[in-house]
A and B are shown apart, each in its own frame.
Chain A
């Protein structure tokens, strides 16, 4: 309140050298503090972004650059590899995000009724894999998917008399294998968010529902699920953004193969930038990816946004 009344007071003053000096004496230190992160942001985010946007209109390689207009974008649209990568990314996103949200919700629903100590144990247990780096996780999964009997999955298969599967080497199962990793992977952060949201739902709503003849399913469907909508929206948007950017698994485990089966857009960007050194094309791909993510996020917020008040 004080701030706004002071600043509105300054607005009415005439612009003089004295007033300007006074303003900086009063508020200068605020700007000094803001300036540090602002410089870092401009240097490491805005500048690369602008440069990448410029590169996307150039044939830019280590040897030099040449302005080619929309050619990078045109060649993308005509490239079957790009569309395969797009298809793989969409399949990956569609198969991982909704299922993972349901798995997370299911786990949170299981953990929520437990007492505090048990809740803490399960929260930590589910969060821990998330702390491990993606590369390490991918290496562990590489062993799990090992095509010989030494791999965990095939060992289990063999135990039940089933043949070993070439999980990552077979184009039909490679993408599915990467998807499977996420189902069994880190749901910790989502569980924490759901548990916090569940804790925020007033107990009296469930008591009212008990009196209103609502059974377990009716309470889940009509109270819990709708009231968790803001959290679900957040998880959905963040999940889609991160799955559109999926790279590490494809890089460490399959190198985008076999036969492009696990080439995602992010992997393709890496491949074009750091294998083919075609930075212009990679930049164009990055902006297409960014554009798609923005459009999807806007659509989600438009259709799912909510303003629930208790």
Chain B
């Protein structure tokens, strides 16, 4: 069993500038056997600290960490049966690729034949056979990244840890490596813990995702659930590209009244929001749920707005359109077949069937 479990784990750092601060607060979760778990969040949210605590490179201030059935609170990194791929790859610059990959096994005093066999096999999986006698500086970024993965594979650990491994690669290579990592996970059937600040990486790779902010876990769920049913405004705003739009308003009867518009709430949703009648709410709308009226075959009766378009960003197959509702800047994602011009008025339909309502005070989703 290669399960990783955090039980009420906290980590406090002491910094000369900031003083004492909690990098991770009461983290409590289980990473299941063979799961690809992605930690995502903005810089300083505690995701890398969590990963380093699993690795044993940081010691938690309180709480217990389990790898398999064993508590590893005080275990040295080498005794945790983990392998890690670092953000800067951390390849030993003076060693050849072969030496880099076999260093761990040599330290374990494994027989040479076994080391050779494992290095050759890992090199074959990662297409590194021809590079084994080169030094890291002779390799491209993508190749170095593969070597770092190879060094992890040869050890055949219980858990693989990845610390933002694609952040130093260019966009094209990142997409390619993402696919390779996904295939590798299926092939190895290993438990992988992966840290990234890139929500696209998180959504495409993760079996489940841990969204963190300011040391606290916001939500742990599948990519689909995170997107469809975010627990709070942070998750809703972080997952999805571009992020969800938020508009302040008041729930009055079957409408949400904002500074400029009145939006009609679908009948079947009203019972859910009963407790918020007459109160302030925050309306959450995904960019793809705002539609160009021209592309609709049936003319809707309500929820049509006519803002002045401020900016149009062309992305090829689609484009992003920016406009304002009150003080909020709103972004909508349109199909490229229906072009829109900047500085013109445009009739748009807000699909309220897909809306999400949040409590503006607690920032939690109203459900």
Residues on A lying within 8 angstroms of B by beta carbon are 202, 204-205, 207-215, 218, 222-223, 226-227, 229, 306-310
Contact = CB atoms under 8 A, between A and B. Distances in A.
B94 interface: yes
B78 A210 contact: yes
Contacts of A226: 94
B90 interface: yes
A181 B98 CA distance: 45
B76 interface: yes
Interface in B93-111: 93-95, 103-104, 107-108
Contacts of B108: 213
A257 to B, nearest CB: 47
Given A211-B83, A212-B103, A222-B103, 5 more contacts: A207-B55, A209-B92, A210-B57, A211-B55, A309-B136
A219 B227 CA distance: 45
Contacts of B78: 210-214
Given A211-B83, A212-B104, A213-B78, A306 B90 contact: no
Contacts of A310: 93
A205 B94 contact: no
B137 to A, nearest CB: 4
A130 B136 CA distance: 39
Interface residues of B, number: 25
Contacts of A307: 137
A207 B77 CA distance: 9
Contacts of B76: 210
Contact of A215 (B56, B83, B94, B107): B107
Contacts of A212: 78, 103-104, 107, 151, 155
A287 B318 CA distance: 78
B322 interface: no
B92 A211 contact: no
Nearest to B108: A213
B137 A204 contact: no
Q: Which of B77, B108, B155 is the most central at the interface, judged by chain A CB atoms within 10 Å of its CB?
A: B77
A204 B48 CA distance: 13
Contacts of A210: 56-57, 76-78
A207 B93 CA distance: 14
A66 B343 CA distance: 97
A63 B56 CA distance: 79
B90 A202 contact: yes
A143 to B, nearest CB: 46
Contacts of B92: 205, 208-209, 222-223
A300 B229 CA distance: 67
A16 to B, nearest CB: 48
A194 to B, nearest CB: 17
Contacts of B103: 209, 212, 214, 222
A223 B100 CA distance: 11
25 contacts: A204-B90, A205-B92, A207-B55, A207-B77, A208-B90, A208-B151, A209-B92, A210-B76, A210-B78, A211-B104, A212-B103, A212-B155, A213-B104, A213-B107, A213-B108, A214-B103, A218-B107, A222-B92, A223-B92, A229-B94, A308-B93, A308-B94, A309-B93, A309-B136, A310-B93
A307 B93 CA distance: 10
A213 B103 CA distance: 9
B174 to A, nearest CB: 20
B151 to A, nearest CB: 8
Given A210-B76, A210-B77, A212-B78, A205 B90 contact: yes
Given A207-B77, A309-B93, A214 B86 contact: no
Nearest to A207: B57
Nearest to B79: A213
Interface string B69-93: 0000000111000111011101011
A309 B137 contact: yes
B83 A204 contact: no
Interface string B103-139: 1100110000000000000000000000000001100
Contacts of A214: 78, 103, 107
Contacts of A205: 90, 92
Contacts of A209: 92, 103
A210 B59 CA distance: 14
A204 B88 contact: yes
Contacts of A213: 78, 104, 107-108
A252 to B, nearest CB: 43
B144 to A, nearest CB: 11
Nearest to A203: B90
B86 A208 contact: yes
Contact of B77 (A211, A218, A223): A211
Q: Which of A205, A207, A223, A226 is the most central at the interface, judged by chain B CB atoms within 10 Å of its CB?
A: A207
B161 to A, nearest CB: 9
A227 B136 CA distance: 14
Interface in B142-201: 151, 155
Given A212-B104, A213-B108, A214-B107, A207 B94 contact: no
Contacts of B155: 212
A210 to B, nearest CB: 4
A307 B151 CA distance: 23
A310 B95 CA distance: 12
Nearest to B137: A309
Contacts of A227: 93-94
